[in-house]
Amino acid sequence: MQLHFLRLTAILLLGIFLAACSITTPPPPAAAPAAADATTVKPPVAVSASATPAPAPTTAPARTIAGGGVELITGEFSYTNDIITVYYVEHAVGLIDLYGFITRDEEWELPVESQVLGPMTIDTAQQRGTFRLALPARPEGVATDVDNDAQQDTGVQVFVISYWPNLYGGPFSEGDDRSYGWPSYLASTTNDPENNDEITGGKLVVWAPDDAQQFPTGFGPDGLLFTADDPTGPIPAGYSVIDLDQQPFAIIRDRETTVTLYEPPDSAIKDYSDLSYTEAFDTMFKKIRAEYAFNGIAGKEPDWDAVYAELAPRVAEAERRRDRRAFFLAILDFTNAFRDGHVGVSSPLEGSLFRDRTTGGYGFAIRELDDGRALVVFVTRDGPADRAGMRVGAELIAFDGTPVNDAISAVEPLGGPFSTDFALRYQQARYLLRAPAGTEVTVTFANPGGPPQTVTLRAIQETDSFRATSIFQPRNPAALPVEFELRSSGVGYIRITDNYDDLHLIITLFERALRTFDDLEVPGVIIDMRQNGGGAPLGLAGFLTDQDIIVGQDEYYSEETGKFEAEGPIDRIFPNQNQYRFDKIVLLVGQACFSACEYESYGFSKVPGMIVVGETPTAGVYAEVSRGQYRLPDDISLQVPTGRTILPDGTPLLEGVGVVPTIRIPRTVETVLAEGDVVLERAEQEIVGR
């Protein structure tokens, strides 16, 4: 799948692809008419960069067959959102057929024969790039009659220059690497995201088979390109670059022509860092209040008026006092007004805040069980709890004189906000036991088989007990994003730990795992998604089913209508060309699976016969975030989702729910104290039957 960006989904993000339907590819372009007498063919018409199309001739002159005009296109681009360098390592620029836009068919699949690629270089430090694209002697796009004269002509081929990276392995967009519709990201045109990515300016490349064709000279009264009211004029044979920013449109015929690629304004980071605290906050607040992805969804939308009334005075006071920490804490509290795990803030000050809240503890950690008890699952050796006689397996009954369940409920943890109650509750239990060194608290507990006892503990500097219940397992920084092994049970095991990496590598490794286990004829395969923080959705489930998996309809706020509107076709996961089948497949899920990991897990869960095993659902954090990136003063970065995916029943996909296990591992004394991986062990039992 190529990066064609009818939408960005990105990140963490972020998903970054347009999922669209297969349709029949249009017929190949018509052949150019042969000259009646080659000796009478006139030389190409030279039109300068500043010239505009002349009125259509009243008599038909002898035709000039295609030749001359633009031969080489060079250019540059800049970007603010670094998703292209995170997800792709093989960059290219492409000459991309615009037939899909001319016909307004977002599901038109780009034919491979029409694609022309050129080299591109990217300076990641400066976030700039350059490219070079040599045009073929004769392109193979779809010829389209766009002159609105009610007569059928041979027509012209229309192209856009666009960023065109590699994903599945081959250099072109074909097979599993499909592309649909028309480019709007890092393209030579500017597009209106508020109006179905209609073209509003920039430059096009047009090839005419002869000089008898015509092309629009303006947008016409409706402001849209390639519609019935466009004025038209003649266009020379061969290649021309059309400058849509001049009125009438200018025809450029220079042999070497420069073209700029544009990052869409909605995808660019919103940079308010040069504003004052109050100006930045007010500007940011107004935009987020309108565009937040889950406005109108019950239980998701903050009380905007109350939030502003509380925080605006704090921001103004921070500005008056020039207090960086106070401003950061106000923005942090703004994010905590949401019930959405995709909302987040980062700052140079966050490290000290985290250390202040987490480096002191009482030397023990707890887990809540399904029956409501709080069980001690870790005790720091020679720490305060250990010296007081607390043992692993003890039940914590009260904390500082309050029943432990009520004490947990009162905690405001860091690391939020959270999209689900279970994720919030888990972190509340962890942060209950964090305190500055020297803090004293009374706790009541009962060791296994022993009576309740109440002791006073003094917090010390220690983090072992905090790490003991982290939802994130320690990870080898040198590990690949996809790893696989043959278990001693004979079961194939695949662990996908990252979708925020080289996407081609992720796909290649995953298919290699499937191919390996298919060759080994394993009795079943386990796909472990429990430790994956998200990134780009890839639809890997397409390797495991020959049926489309319907995902949902993407929606974004429209400034024109003041409502959330559908954008693009229905999102779906397509079957891959290479298919793999196993007698049993088990998917492992958990609350450390976020965002694009959840999209991937959702796709896997829809594969016929899939068994989903986990202690909890996935995190329930799913939205598009690439359009909601902000820079504020003092190097503060803020993220708020702007796009949502809606299921046929009108509810958001995954947000607040996640992928729910079909076999849930209960939280009992035995499971939370088990030394092994009880979730993985249960998955193996489902496959081998023991």
User: pLDDT tens digits for 294-324?
Assistant: 999 988 999 999 999 999 999 999 999 999 9
What's the chain's Rg over C-alpha atoms? 30
Tokens 């869960």: give the residue: 605
* Per-residue three-class SS string for 98-134: CHHHHCCCCCCECCHHHCEEEEEEEECCCCEEEEEEE
Tokens 């045009």: give the residue: 135
101 vs 475: which has the higher pLDDT? 101
**pTM as predicted:** 0.85
Task: Give the pLDDT confidence score for residue 637 in this predicted structure.
Answer: 96
Task: Give the pLDDT confidence score for residue 11 in this predicted structure.
Answer: 33
Same fold, 357-467 and 482-688: no
Torsion of CA 311, 312, 314, 320, to 10 degrees: 160
Task: Give the pLDDT confidence score for residue 32 in this predicted structure.
Answer: 31
180 vs 658: which has the higher pLDDT? 658
Torsion of CA 134, 135, 136, 140, to 10 degrees: 140
Q: Which of 434, 436, 435, 455 is nearest to 444 (CA)?
A: 455
Asked if 621 and 598 touch (Cβ cutoff 8 Å), the reply is: yes
SS3 assignment, position 59: coil
581 vs 524: CA distance, rounded Å = 9
Asked if 544 and 518 touch (Cβ cutoff 8 Å), the reply is: no
* Region 217-222 average pLDDT: 95
Distances (CA, A) of 460 to 380, 404, 437: 11, 21, 5
Q: Is the pLDDT of residue 43 over 60?
A: no
Asked if 159 and 95 touch (Cβ cutoff 8 Å), the reply is: yes
Residue 630 sits at φ, ψ, to 5 deg, of -130, 145
Name the band, by pLDDT with cuts 50, 70 and 90, for residue 63: low
* Residues of the chain above pLDDT 70, percent: 90
User: pLDDT tens digits for 328-346?
Assistant: 999 999 999 999 999 999 9
548 vs 16: which has the higher pLDDT? 548
213 vs 154: CA distance, rounded Å = 8
CA 195 to chain centre: 21
* Region 131-144 average pLDDT: 95
Task: Give the pLDDT confidence score for residue 62 in this predicted structure.
Answer: 53
User: pLDDT tens digits for 181-197?
Assistant: 898 889 999 998 878 88
- CATH fit for domain 357-467, picks 1.10.3210.10, 3.30.1780.10, 3.90.550.10, 2.30.42.10: 2.30.42.10
Residue 427 half-sphere exposure, CB side, CA atoms within 13 Å? Answer: 20
Q: Is the pLDDT of residue 551 over 90?
A: yes
**What is the 8-class DSSP label of residue 501?**
S
Task: Give the pLDDT confidence score for residue 429 in this predicted structure.
Answer: 98
SS3 assignment, position 288: helix
Asked if 591 and 619 touch (Cβ cutoff 8 Å), the reply is: yes
Q: Is the pLDDT of residue 21 over 90?
A: no
Q: Is the pLDDT of residue 268 over 90?
A: no
Residue 120 half-sphere exposure, CB side, CA atoms within 13 Å? Answer: 29
CA dihedral over 573, 577, 578, 580, signed as positive or negative:
positive
User: pLDDT tens digits for 500-516?
Assistant: 888 999 999 999 999 99
The residue extents of the domains of the chain are 10-30+45-261, 285-346, 357-467, 482-688
Neighbours of 512 (CB within 10 A): 13
Tell me whether strands 232-234 and 482-486 are parallel, antiparallel or unpaired: unpaired
Q: Which of 284-293, 555-564, 628-637 has the lowest mean pLDDT?
A: 555-564
Mean pLDDT of the chain: 89
Domain with residues 482-688, CATH architecture: Alpha-Beta Complex (3.90)
Q: How open is the CA angle 360-364-370, to the nearest 5 degrees?
A: 125
